[in-house]
Amino acid sequence: MGWGDFWPAAAGWAITWIPVLGPLGILATALVAYFAYRQKLEADRRAQWWVRAQWALEASLSANPRRSLAGLAVLNDLKTSSLATREDRELFRLIGVTAREELLGGGSGSTVREARPGGASTVESGPMPAATSVLADALREQVEKLAGEAGEPSPFLLGTSGTPTVGEAQNH
């Protein structure tokens, strides 16, 4: 086949296949755009998940036990999210183990932390009022859930009867 036969053959091929390749190109472009959109959506959801996780980590380390309870409840809920990776779950479990050791290290008596400027805190022991006892029990429950492998959502986030919601726990 010489150059003289090439151009008529190429023209015949183009007439046959260009009408097919045009729509296939549009379909391929649409698929790429769709997958790019899904990837961006997932990345945005993951970024928002991480913002909530950062808040929960900060709140769980708060000297205010109610804020700490809210942070632990959110951490437990985030741990069960489909956006949480295996590494995230392990990190939350280690945080729970550390918090459990800190709670157990305080002994059976009550301890109240008072925050001081510069990051220092004082610890006072004494009789525990009933409300503080309930709060301490809720903190222990959240820490145990975080340290354990249970994947159930936190009742504090679900707002079940008799338990505060995150907003209520955070505002007191």
pLDDT tens digits for range 68-97: 889 989 998 999 889 989 998 888 888 888
Instruction: Indicate whether 115 pLDDT > 60.
Output: no
Q: Are 70 and 78 in contact (CB under 8 A)?
A: no
| 111 contact partners, CB below 8 Å, separation of at least 6 | 123, 124, 125
Average pLDDT, the chain: 76
Q: Are 112 and 126 in contact (CB under 8 A)?
A: yes
Domain containing 137 equals 3-171
Which percentage of the chain shows pLDDT scores above 90?
Answer: 24
Q: What is the pTM of this model?
A: 0.57
- Model pLDDT, residue 62: 84
Q: What is the mean pLDDT of residues 4-15?
A: 85
**How many domains does the chain divide into?**
1
Q: Computed from CA positions of residues 144, 150, 153, 159, in that sequence, does the dihedral angle turn out positive or negative?
A: negative
Looking at residue 127, the DSSP 8-state letter turns out to be P
